[in-house]
Amino acid sequence: MIPSRLFSVRPQAVLEGVGCWTLAARMVPGPSHRLLLRTSPRLLSVSCADCSKHQEPPRKQPLSEKKLKRHFVDHRRVLVRGGRGGNGVSCFHSEPRKEFGGPDGGDGGNGGHVILRVDQHVKSLSSVLSRYQGFDGEDGGRKNCFGRNGSILYIRVPVGTLVKEGNEVLADLSRPGDEFIAAVGGSGGKGNRFFLANDNRAPTTCTPGQPGQERVLFLELKTVAHAGLVGFPNAGKSSLLRAISNARPAVASYPFTTLNPHVGIVHYEDHQQIAVADIPGIIRGAHQNRGLGLAFLRHVERCPFLLFLVDLSVPEPWTQLDDLRYELEQYDEGLSKRPYAVVANKIDLPQARARLPQLQARLGQEAIALSAATGENLEELLLRLKELHDRHVATELEHGRQPLRW
């Protein structure tokens, strides 16, 4: 019989307040006496490492609209300079029992180009630096060894980047994989082997490498999408884009919640994808650079068809369509005449539903009445969107152009 006083229990703190009881001592019978041994608390305690295996990794917090605006850049001034060419070398072949080996200086390598390349994973010009220098070519060597050419420096830009030099448009990078040589690398210098001739058997002339091309470019981003969602501030454009796609623009009850364009992809059963761009709110006088003004009106230019979003909760909602079309026409002639559909939002409100017959009578055409908040009648919008897209694809193929695909 082991006396009870030889055993004791004590609490041990593990895992932030979860108690665990461990055996403090145990008796080991011996031939002549009993030995008291200490038991390690690790034998009976729970390891924190085992619990950490089942913990989910912390998720990345989504950026707020203000922080997202800092990361979104749609214009950039860039100084690009091609790599310098390597120098040619003047030297003569040296070999035993060969007195007149002749010139064997190699040419220098060409400097590397600086190329703009479209990358679909890049969404703005925020990653583009203000200055780029191409890689230089290596100098020539002995034994007619040419220098290595400088590597090509690629600058990743988003789809829809417009390249300008002054007021001249140099390139329109509107397709994935498009490239434009922003700066040409300099030519490599010639070694004295290049100047070998019948009348000059031992030339000592060599030329240095040429500097690369240097220019100042202005990059301007115009969002590329199939449909442009145009409307006044707080009309529900972001809510509608969230309802029909997986895009997650900021939504709030105050105007100018969206500070930069968002593109959402609408998926159909036949694996067809249509890109819809949420253009920040346009106000009266936007073509005169009021409000967000010209900074975001240019993002509508590349959309082949438009979705005019009208807020039915305000008095006389039919005037919104006239104002929106007027602003687009003043900014770019013919922009308001593109194929479009009128979407009447906030039909879930009682006063909005009462204004719907007046809106359709004023417009002289049928407006798609829906509610982005409740999802009412979204199917009609998706069918109309697909109809506009199919018509645009047929028109592009008739003119021998390849339509945009996402």
Q: Note the helical H segments in 23-129.
A: 48-52, 65-71
- The CATH number of whichever domain residue 378 belongs to comes to 3.40.50.300
Residues 347, 371, single domain; the answer is: yes
332 domain residue, yes or no:
yes
Average pLDDT over residues 154-164: 91
Closest CA to 124 of 222, 271, 241: 222
Identify the domain boundary among 222, 246, 280.
Answer: 222
Tell me: pLDDT of 316 over 70. Answer: yes
Tokens of 175: 């397709």
Identify the domain boundary among 183, 205, 222.
Answer: 222
Structural domain harbouring 271: 227-399
Residues 298, 384, single domain; the answer is: yes
Tens digits of residue pLDDT in 106-119: 999 999 999 999 99
> pLDDT grade, residue 81 (50/70/90)?
very high
Identify the domain boundary among 205, 222, 239.
Answer: 222
Tens digits of residue pLDDT in 343-396: 998 888 888 888 888 888 888 778 888 988 888 889 999 999 999 999 998 988
The predicted pLDDT at position 222 comes to: 80
Tell me: pLDDT of 68 over 50. Answer: no
- How many beta carbons lie within 10 A of that of residue 73, not counting itself? 15
- Residue type for 233, please? P
Q: What are phi and psi of 388, to 5 degrees?
A: -65, -40
Q: What is the DSSP string of 283-339?
A: -TTGGGT-TTTHHHHGGGTT-SEEEEEEETTSSSTHHHHHHHHHHHHHHSTTGGGS-
Residues 257, 386, single domain; the answer is: yes
Q: What is the DSSP letter of 239?
A: H
Residues 240, 278, single domain; the answer is: yes
Cα distance between the two ends of the chain:
82
3 domain residue, yes or no:
no
Residues 346, 283, single domain; the answer is: yes
4 domain residue, yes or no:
no
Q: What is the largest CA-CA distance in the chain?
A: 119
44-53, 94-103, 120-129: least confidently modelled range: 44-53
Residues 249, 208, single domain; the answer is: no
Residues 179, 256, single domain; the answer is: no
What domain count does the chain have?
Answer: 2
Residues 194, 297, single domain; the answer is: no
The predicted pLDDT at position 292 comes to: 55
66 domain residue, yes or no:
no
Residues 361, 263, single domain; the answer is: yes
Q: Which residues pair with 23 in a beta bridge?
A: 9
Tokens of 334: 């013919």
Report the chain's mean pLDDT, rounded to a whole number: 78
Residues 304, 341, single domain; the answer is: yes
Residues 212, 231, single domain; the answer is: no
- CA torsion sign for 81, 85, 86, 91 is negative
- The CATH number of whichever domain residue 150 belongs to comes to 2.70.210.12
Distance CA(291)–CA(307), nearest Å, equals 21
Tokens of 395: 């028109």
Distance CA(224)–CA(307), nearest Å, equals 15
Burial class (CB in 10 A: 0-12, 13-18, 19+), 8: exposed
Residues 206, 275, single domain; the answer is: no
Distance CA(27)–CA(42), nearest Å, equals 19
Tens digits of residue pLDDT in 234-292: 888 888 988 998 887 777 666 666 666 778 888 888 788 888 888 876 766 555 555 55
340 domain residue, yes or no:
yes
119 domain residue, yes or no:
yes
Tens digits of residue pLDDT in 116-129: 999 988 878 888 99
The predicted pLDDT at position 65 comes to: 41
